[in-house]
Amino acid sequence: MTQRLSSQQVWEALGKEIFAVLGMVTAQGEARTVGVVYVVDDRKLYIVTKKDAWKVRHVAQNPHVSITVPIAKRIPFMPWIKIPAATITFRGSGKVLLAEDVKPQVLSALMGGVQADVATLSGVRVLEIEPLGEFITYGVGVSLMEMRDPQRARGRAATH
């Protein structure tokens, strides 16, 4: 049986991570994925990238995206034992924003706290990803033992 998680539980897990895989569609209808670093603010994910990056072009042409966030699992004091990552996956709508259109605290977090000058900021864009529908999870909010049972390890939660 799929477990019901609260939206808050999933947002808290997303806020503890920084890496995700962003799925997009090209203008030719081909699927593409890329690893990204993100920050969470106001129930949206933000990603900074160069203004001429292909992910900017793809999201601008087609805002339908997907995100998968892997969450590393380890047994304390036994790191050599391999355990599959837990995951949070969702579909979303992406927007391409200018750096000046992003909250200063979000931009600061995206830039690693480094004060960027006008020239640097003019060369970047920020992708804003708003989750839609439901989060689909595996291994979130369950013990390592429960992760062995796919029925117990699967979960769903509303994105809002």
What's the average pLDDT block by block, 10 residues per block, for the chain (160 residues)? 83 97 94 97 97 96 97 87 92 97 93 76 94 96 88 91
Q: Name the E strands within the chain.
A: 3-4, 19-25, 31-37, 39-41, 44-50, 64-71, 86-98, 124-138, 154-158
Contacts for 138 with CB less than 8 Å, ≥ 6 apart: 86, 87, 147, 150, 153, 154, 155
End-to-end CA gap in the chain: 22
pLDDT at 139: 94
pLDDT at 90: 98
Domains and CATH numbers, the chain: 3-158 (2.30.110.10)
Residue 15 φ/ψ, nearest 5 degrees: -70, -20
pLDDT at 2: 65
pLDDT at 114: 72
Contacts 24+ apart (CB under 8 A), 143-150: 144/73, 144/75, 144/83, 147/73, 147/83, 147/84, 147/86
pLDDT at 69: 98
